[in-house]
Amino acid sequence: MERQLPKHIGIIMDGNGRWAKKRGLKRWDGHKEGANVFRKICSYACDIGIKSITFYAFSTENWRRPPEEVAAIMELFREYLGEAEDRENENIRKGMQMHFIGRRDDMPEDIVSLMETAEENSKDASRIKVNIAINYGGRLEIVEAVRKIAQKVKDGEIQPEDITEDDISANLYTAGQDDPDLIIRPSGEYRLSNFLLWQSAYSEFWFSDILWPDFTTDDLDRAIDDYNNRSRRFGGV
């Protein structure tokens, strides 16, 4: 039987710090390597025909880290987004449509502006949707959706009893996108850490001890193969 590709994959890119520590390197060396692996996996997902992929890059809780580490991660975003500023960027030519999910208000202005440029430059690309979750928190995303809906109630546009699940979905950062079929978390942690809480209601999970900088295209294939052996019932029989 031919393998079914998940339409949408979510990846929690975790384990950079431990990867660096194991090698006697600084944590940010791990983030740098992690960023390279992100580029590789993103490009491979596009090549094999995945339609949509979401990478968790920085959570709303990650601001708790030492300022030097946060600054180093922001620098890596600048580097990556600088590449995407070029309309002739290889990723855009490959067909990657970029989206950034998360709260932009608390992000450095120059990064927000680079995100907007990357989204604008890649908006006609149609092979794969690439979401990058930066300053993203699933709970905050739901809170922000609820605020928007509450405003509509206040303005008399809708009644509380008319609010549906679709209304919540339509007010999330991922509005209009399919929920993730498969969520991958390497690094030996078995938790979501506030990633796509609403959207993952019926996702399949794939955990592994591999640290993100060691993650390879073979690992992605393995996760997809395992996904193919799952039986998704969505509450039915």
Among all residues, which ones are annotated catalytic? 14, 62
Nearer to ligand IPE, 7 or 26 (CB): 26
Does 212 contact Mg ion by CB under 5 A?
no
Q: Which stretch binds Mg ion (CB under 5 A): 11-19, 116-124, 136-144, 224-232?
A: 11-19
To the nearest whole angstrom, how small is the minimum distance from the Cβ of residue 53 to ligand IPE? 15
Cβ within 8 Å of residue 74, ≥6 positions away: 108, 111
Q: Which stretch binds ligand IPE (CB under 6 A): 51-59, 74-82, 156-164, 172-180?
A: 51-59
Does 29 contact Mg ion by CB under 5 A?
no
Q: Which of 18, 94, 104, 152 binds ligand IPE (CB under 6 A)?
A: 18
* Residue 85 contact among Mg ion, ligand IPE, none, beta carbon within 5 to 8 Å by kind: none
Does 97 contact ligand IPE by CB under 6 A?
no
To the nearest whole angstrom, how small is the minimum distance from the Cβ of residue 10 to ligand IPE? 11
Does 14 contact Mg ion by CB under 5 A?
yes
Nearer to ligand IPE, 90 or 189 (CB): 189
Footprint of ligand IPE (CB under 6 A): 12-18, 56-59, 62, 73, 187, 189, 191, 193
Footprint of Mg ion (CB under 5 A): 14
